[in-house]
């Protein structure tokens, strides 16, 4: 049972895939009416848990759409009515699906008032949104748009069924206007919209209502391994290279080379190094301009700090590795934070490395200038890019607006260049060149601070170095780093508030994340 729940929690579907999965369920003999009763009963119980009935009746507005989402809302209305809530129904559509019509007729037979105009709906303690479910594609206009806007302005708690009405199931686009829910009950399987940055302002708190979709029905549509998956704690921890064997040594636990920092951006090198330290990598070497060497030693005494010749502006001018050492001596290399664009020759040299390579920050900007796709196509070893949206658009200017559908954008980019790409955001998306996607479903705006990305680069670089000999898919390691990094931000924000999580503080919460497990 737990194995099924874990697999279900990872699944992400489009509207078309959800329809196909439902057809599998109905074709097997599950009556539509029975499934509606089950789903709506689960929602009604959750509503009662969140807003229990009281002697002074809670007043509930039920927003009823023409489809089965409206039917779900009417069953919830009936169940809450029988448990002592005062119910009012707003049903503005003339034509409803047959099952929805039947539930509306029964609700009216109970004496529940029904209104067709939004201004007639009395003020409520909270609302249940069942106007539109998954699959909506047309823009909401006219009276319904006006009603949604008015409901949003009432500032009442709104519980949306499956999706806030007006949100595109796949892209998260607002179709003209949309309900701003305070709580959304996603039904059965996570929809793509829940993992698109542009929709997040509309969901409020989200939870999955698991109504026991058979895993076989999901796999019949999506295959054994879904193309798009949510990162969960179980999946993240399954790829961590811990625990270590009882007999080992530092070089068996990975040797990471960081190439970072400049006189202007010394902090970037420090934060990247601290992120790598937290990864547990066996050996850490950091190449910085000679003038930063002793500063780095003071913060990371266990690391081998490599002082390199520098330009007049304080950037690395030549990568001067220790005697008998070359780029193949390392398990993985990470380059970019604090580097400045003056280090173009260094990025060009490192691109020739036969080892896994992570590019971030200025290394990405230099890569864009060199030509992203032709430059990366020359590499033989695995490459990971970690851009934010602006860097992504510079790297892949021919890909349509990434904000419209970041998941399609990151898949297209990874396919074109042959690298694994981590596209940062409120919902970080990771794709390998074959189009397999991991999405991080949790984060915090506390991470919107300078230097947070440097910490991620060090952490991910350290994990890549440790995993180099363990035959773990690159995208799985990248997903683990994204999850670990965001969980540290969440934990820090809980203890320090969102405003109190600077990048240095973030590094101090990486290990406490693992201690909680």
- DSSP type of residue 117: S
138 annotated to bind ligand: yes
Question: Are the C-beta atoms of 164 and 134 separated by less than 8 Å?
Answer: no
* Local structure of residue 244 (DSSP, 8 states): P
Full strand arrangement of the beta sheet holding 420-423: 228-230, 437-439, 429-431, 420-423, 383-385, 357-359, 332-335, 255-259, 283-289, 304-308
Q: Coil, helix or strand for 122?
A: coil
49 is in an annotated binding site: no
Is 496 annotated in a binding site? The answer is no
State yes or no: 134 annotated in a binding site. Answer: yes
Report the distance separating Cα 43 and Cα 183, nearest Å: 11
Give yes or no for a contact between 266 and 292, defined as CB atoms under 8 angstroms apart: yes
Any known ligand binding at 67?
Answer: no
DSSP 321: P
User: Is 137 among the annotated ligand-binding positions?
Assistant: yes
| 182 among annotated binding-site residues | no
Q: What one-character DSSP code corresponds to residue 397?
A: T
Neighbours of 448 (CB within 10 A): 12
Please indicate if the annotation marks 312 as binding a ligand: no
20 assigned ligand-binding residue: no
Name 294's Cβ contacts closer than 8 Å, sequence gap at least 6.
Answer: none
236 dihedral zone (left: phi>0; alpha: psi -120 to 50; beta): alpha
Residue 166 region, left (φ>0) first, then alpha (ψ -120 to 50), else beta? left
Whether residue 129 is annotated as binding a ligand: the answer is yes
Distance CA 56, CA 43 (A): 22
Q: Is 72 annotated as a binding residue?
A: yes
Q: Any binding-site annotation on 425?
A: yes
* Sequential DSSP letters for 252-297: GG-EEEEE---STTHHHHHHHHHHHHHHT-SEEEEEEEGGGHHHHH
**How far is residue 311's CA from residue 315's CA, in Å, rounded to a whole number?**
5
Report whether 84 belongs to an annotated binding site: no
Query: Was 299 annotated as part of a binding site?
Result: no
The verdict on whether residue 165 carries a ligand-binding annotation is yes
* 338 marked as part of a ligand binding site: yes
Sign of CA dihedral 453, 455, 457, 460: negative
Q: Which residues contact 153 (CB under 8 A, 6 or more apart)?
A: none
Is 360 part of any known ligand binding site?
no
> Is 205 within 8 Å of 184 (Cβ atoms)?
yes
Q: Which residues are annotated binding-site positions for AMP?
A: 424-428, 453
Q: Which residues are annotated binding-site positions for (6S)-NADPHX?
A: 68-72, 133-139, 162, 338, 388, 454
Q: Which residues are annotated binding-site positions?
A: 68-72, 129, 133-139, 162, 165, 338, 388, 424-428, 453-454
Q: Which residues are annotated binding-site positions for K(+)?
A: 69, 129, 165
């Amino acid at each position: 049972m737990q194995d099924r729940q874990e697999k279900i929690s990872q699944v992400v579907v489009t509207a078309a895939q959800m329809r196909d999965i439902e057809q599998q369920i109905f074709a097997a003999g599950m009556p539509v009416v029975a499934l509606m009763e089950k789903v709506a009963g689960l929602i009604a119980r959750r509503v009662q848990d969140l807003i229990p009935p009281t002697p002074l009746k809670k007043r509930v507005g039920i927003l009823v759409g023409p489809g089965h989402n409206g039917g779900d809302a009417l069953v919830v209305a009936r169940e809450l009515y029988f448990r002592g809530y005062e119910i009012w129904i707003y049903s503005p559509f003339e034509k409803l699906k047959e099952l929805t019509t039947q539930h509306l007729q029964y609700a009216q037979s109970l004496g529940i008032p029904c209104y067709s105009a939004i201004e007639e709906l009395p003020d409520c303690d909270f609302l249940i949104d069942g106007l539109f479910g998954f699959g909506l594609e047309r823009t909401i206009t006219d009276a319904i748009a006006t009603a949604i806007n008015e409901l949003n302005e009432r500032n009442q708690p709104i519980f949306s069924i499956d999706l806030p009405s007006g949100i595109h199931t796949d892209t998260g686009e607002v179709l003209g206007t949309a309900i701003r829910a305070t709580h959304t009950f996603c039904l059965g399987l996570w929809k793509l919209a829940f993992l698109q940055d542009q929709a997040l302002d509309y969901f409020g708190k989200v939870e999955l209502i698991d109504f026991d979709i058979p895993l076989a029905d999901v796999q019949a549509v999506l295959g054994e391994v879904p193309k798009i998956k949510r990162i969960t704690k179980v999946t993240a921890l399954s790829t961590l290279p811990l625990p270590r064997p009882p007999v080992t040594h530092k070089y068996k636990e990975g040797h990471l080379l960081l190439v970072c920092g400049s006189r202007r951006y010394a902090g970037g090198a420090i934060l990247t190094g601290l992120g790598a330290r937290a990864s547990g990598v066996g050996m850490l070497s950091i190449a910085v301009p000679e003038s930063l060497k002793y500063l780095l030693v003071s913060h990371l005494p266990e690391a081998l700090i490599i002082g390199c010749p520098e330009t007049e502006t304080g950037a690395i001018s030549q990568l001067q590795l220790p005697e008998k050492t070359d780029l193949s001596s390392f398990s993985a290399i990470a380059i970019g934070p604090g580097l400045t664009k003056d280090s173009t020759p260094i990025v060009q040299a490192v691109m020739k490395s036969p080892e896994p390579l992570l590019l971030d920050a200025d290394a990405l900007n230099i890569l864009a200038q060199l030509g992203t796709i032709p430059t990366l196509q020359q590499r033989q070893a695995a490459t990971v890019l970690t851009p934010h949206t602006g860097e992504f658009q510079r790297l892949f200017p021919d890909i349509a607006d990434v904000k419209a559908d970041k998941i399609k954008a990151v898949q297209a980019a990874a396919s074109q260049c042959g690298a694994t790409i981590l596209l940062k955001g409120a919902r970080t998306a990771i794709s390998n060149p074959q189009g397999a996607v991991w999405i991080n479903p949790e984060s915090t705006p506390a991470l919107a601070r300078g230097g947070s990305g440097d910490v991620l680069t060090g952490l991910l670089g350290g994990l890549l170095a440790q995993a180099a000999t363990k035959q773990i898919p690159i995208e799985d390691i990248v997903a683990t780093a994204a999850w670990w990094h965001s969980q540290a931000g969440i934990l820090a924000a809980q203890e320090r508030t969102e405003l109190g999580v600077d990048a240095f503080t973030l590094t101090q919460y990486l290990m406490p994340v693992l201690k909680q497990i």
